Chain A
């Protein structure tokens, strides 16, 4: 009981970035916890194949916090079945397992996970401290050598990585100074601030700055002389291609590669079924001293993506979120009892489920001028009946909103959500009249050059939900004099047309990360990427360093770019918070992306006997890693 209370305090310690030093006080806690051997590994330990539990967990393991509101500790055993759409998705084991150097907890606070601690100085110098006695899944020690190998022999080796260190390690093109201080401590130092470093370590697809050196060394020309001659199989001759192939930490399709995740893949591709077994050297334990994960095995079966909801309804998955959408909810509920599972409703973490992206780089000059006029975009937004969309498609369970952050985020303000997002036909008509768009005899307005105001909105053709929402929008836009044609396309040509400026308006989901904190990058709010469908050419300009694309010339967009640059160079959380607010305000004001609903319910199916699955949770890629922050290692079968 004392341990419980102590742990609760330990868990609520102030977020690490505000603290200079994170003291490893858990050592005293460990002394009070007796380690219990994992039942399923008892035999292997008795035969001497594995060392006993005391030598398998680090000296100071992470004491895993499972959901206090559900309560009880779990027991070891069981196989969890999940369904995936293609072989590449076996990397979901890495995502769901969510063992990161630093990770998010359920409240989206950054907490050291694999690391014992991380010291942040001025957002420029990061000192990383590993846990003593932490081992890879094959028993070899996890030390600073694994970081050094990555830095010197992987990213700074021209043959292996011709593009050099990843952009996550560069600050304005400048690489860090890397030092190994001792066996369990390394340090990265930059001359300018790099506030994104820690959050990029905690991402679902993280900045991975370490490798299992003892394994990969066998494929590196510097350490293994006969490696270069391995050209018998496949089209590969070069050792670098072989090394890159073996180095599948994220892809998770090399069973021989040691990992730090709770389960390790044991199936070689190609396969239709992947089996992952527990990692006997996992660094987390529960508060009764049992090593996590509770579940022994995870099995992932490949099925056609469209069949996932069908098969889940037939009871073939123990835990499933991928491939299920809200439209499947009634079907799943109906089959619950018969197939022994329960259907939970979590919520999506996207800025908006369905967003309209007016193309500010459209080729047609008349349309381009019109789309760039903020009054037009505001009128379009005012003419959308969001509550109708909510009722018809989501049973009223979603939230009507702009494309902005969710209420979960500390940066949320109600006006970001509601500005220009009400349903007001009169105000919309007024704005359109102000723009000089006269109505014709049939009620449809005309462009300045006489053509009728007919917008062709293109979709990627992958979701009937999008087409349905466009139908609803068409009705209300017609009442203010705008004609809408929807054109489902195919993802590649859909994207190509937008990039080329052929498309007037497109449909996609909104902000990828709608639960940010001030220290997460606001890159999505500024032109940084060609894939931002509202300003593809501005984004391309930034991405290619000015070689292609068009420099932003709209004053508000230029301001967003400036703010983003300031954020990257800023040195205090407060300053970053202010910048975020200014950027969010501009977006709400300018309606660059017209949002409709957010917080869309996401059905999650869980077996009746599977415990510790939260009733309601955030289902988001980054931050969140889908099931990651909900700690899959703490799930157990009754």
Chain B
């Protein structure tokens, strides 16, 4: 077990390195760079010396260096303007758009992103679990069909559409302010009870929107697994022996079919993070999604790259934890493999 853990942790490093290379390549793929956008903007303001100004800045920002040198400086394996200072050393780089270190720009957003994603996953579990169990036990009943249908509606409706509808409805019925993850006056303030309350008030819309698309799959998986278990011999034996129905359900079949919950954390984390980006843009939430989108559009390479690296790190750790939990939950899952029946 310990060997396995160490092995997994060690293999995260080359994985993340590969991810960083691919990410940086894709960000640099579109023609031009941050400054070519700047030039157009300066010119549209009537600044006739935009071209020369941009050349001067290009040299200052190091954007005229070859690709591999820019990449290596960013990661921290090559000395840049300030010596060895890159991702490895904890320096996330410089944001051209905001003219500040990336760390300062990102601020509260990562925390709010984390809260949003974590709450969404909790919501997905909290909804999928009882519905999955109920639909398995009361198979083909009226409730089974309607609840599954609701789940599918959530899956089929585009996230952004659902978000807009809910947002409008909330504003008209409850007077909730449109968009944003909290009331405007709390933005930038330090955390307080009022601020937390405001966040909670606004959080339910994005959580419902992102969560419902995830619940459908989980409901069906849990239902399928549980149905499988309920068909088995030992359940019939327990029933024959007079075990009360609830205990009969929970003691063994349910525990056996919990696997998908844990295994899915690995899948759920990246899909929730990317799903939440679109919803965050539409609802104008102050999380990482909108900032990432802006950074990619304006080719603010270090901000975008560092952000994506952080999200990849989260995803990698998430998958690792999910694997560990799964091994802890289900004794059948061991590296030695073998058929366990």
**Interface residues of A, Cβ cutoff 8 Å to B:** 86-88, 162-163, 166-168, 203, 205, 231, 233-235, 237, 241, 245, 267, 269-273, 299, 301, 303-304, 307, 310-311, 314, 316, 492, 495-496, 529-531, 543-544, 622
Contacts and interface: CB of A to CB of B under 8 A. Distances in A.
A310 B179 contact: yes
A163 B49 contact: yes
**Most chain B CB inside 10 Å of its own CB: which residue of A267, A270, A495, A543:** A270
B284 A203 contact: no
Contacts of A88: 97
A495 B31 CA distance: 12
Given A162-B56, A272-B286, A492-B37, A303 B179 contact: yes
B161 to A, nearest CB: 14
Contact of B82 (A235, A273, A529): A235
Nearest to A529: B43
> Which 6 pairs between the two chains have the least Cβ-Cβ distance?
A304-B284, A167-B48, A272-B187, A163-B52, A273-B187, A205-B45
Interface string B81-112: 11000000000001001111100110100000
B187 A307 contact: no
A177 to B, nearest CB: 21
27 contacts: A86-B294, A163-B49, A166-B47, A166-B48, A167-B48, A167-B49, A203-B46, A234-B94, A235-B82, A237-B81, A270-B98, A271-B187, A272-B188, A272-B286, A273-B185, A301-B184, A301-B187, A304-B179, A307-B178, A307-B283, A310-B178, A314-B177, A314-B178, A316-B184, A492-B40, A495-B40, A531-B43
B266 interface: no
Interface string B321-336: 0000000000000000
Interface string B19-43: 0000000000011100011001001
Contacts of A231: 82
Contacts of B32: 492
A166 B46 contact: no
**Most chain A CB inside 10 Å of its own CB: which residue of B30, B180, B284:** B284
B231 interface: no
A205 B168 CA distance: 37
Given A245-B99, A301-B184, A311 B178 contact: yes
B206 interface: no
Nearest to A311: B178
**Most chain A CB inside 10 Å of its own CB: which residue of B30, B40, B99, B281:** B99
Given A205-B47, A234-B100, 18 more contacts: A86-B294, A163-B52, A163-B56, A167-B48, A271-B188, A303-B179, A304-B179, A304-B290, A307-B178, A310-B179, A311-B178, A314-B178, A492-B31, A495-B40, A531-B40, A531-B43, A531-B44, A544-B51
B60 interface: yes
Nearest to A314: B178
A411 B194 CA distance: 58
A31 B99 CA distance: 48
A245 B171 CA distance: 41
Interface string B262-278: 00000000000000000
A307 B184 CA distance: 15
**Most chain A CB inside 10 Å of its own CB: which residue of B98, B105, B180, B187:** B180
A304 B181 CA distance: 13
B interface, size bucket: 35 or more
A492 B184 contact: no
B65 interface: no
Contacts of B61: 235
Contacts of A495: 40
Contacts of B171: 314
A310 B179 CA distance: 9
A117 B30 CA distance: 51
B116 interface: no
A543 B39 CA distance: 13
A168 B46 CA distance: 10
B131 interface: no
A273 B188 contact: yes
A390 B13 CA distance: 61
B282 interface: yes
Contacts of A234: 94, 100-101
A543 B48 CA distance: 8
A270 B107 contact: yes
B101 A87 contact: no
A311 B44 contact: no
B53 interface: yes
**Most chain B CB inside 10 Å of its own CB: which residue of A162, A168, A234, A530:** A234
A241 B62 CA distance: 14
A492 B98 contact: no
Contact of A241 (B46, B60, B80): B60
A269 B40 contact: no
Contacts of A307: 178-179, 282-284
Contact of A235 (B52, B56, B94, B107): B94
Given A235-B81, A237-B81, A304-B290, A270 B178 contact: no
A411 to B, nearest CB: 20
A221 B147 CA distance: 71
B118 to A, nearest CB: 22
Contact of A303 (B43, B98, B107, B284): B284
A622 B100 CA distance: 31
Interface in B294-328: 294
A570 to B, nearest CB: 20
Contacts of A299: 184
A241 B99 CA distance: 11
A170 B207 CA distance: 58
Contacts of B185: 273
A157 B241 CA distance: 95
Nearest to B179: A307
Contacts of A314: 171, 177-178
Contacts of A163: 49, 52-53, 56
A531 B42 CA distance: 12
A270 B291 CA distance: 12
Nearest to B62: A235
B297 to A, nearest CB: 9
Given A162-B56, A163-B56, A307-B284, A269 B100 contact: yes
B188 A311 contact: no
A270 B104 contact: yes
Nearest to B45: A205
Nearest to B41: A88
A166 B178 CA distance: 44
A34 B56 CA distance: 52
B234 to A, nearest CB: 55
A316 B185 CA distance: 12
B35 to A, nearest CB: 12
Contacts of B281: 304
Given A310-B178, A316-B177, A304 B282 contact: yes
Contacts of A269: 98-100
Contacts of A311: 177-179
B82 to A, nearest CB: 6
Contact of A492 (B36, B56, B188): B36
A235 B95 CA distance: 10
A231 B85 CA distance: 14
Contacts of A304: 179, 281-282, 284, 290
Contacts of A544: 51
A238 to B, nearest CB: 8
Nearest to A253: B99
B187 A496 contact: no
Contacts of B168: 310
Nearest to B106: A270
B180 A303 contact: yes
A525 B284 CA distance: 40
Contacts of B98: 87, 269-270
A485 to B, nearest CB: 24
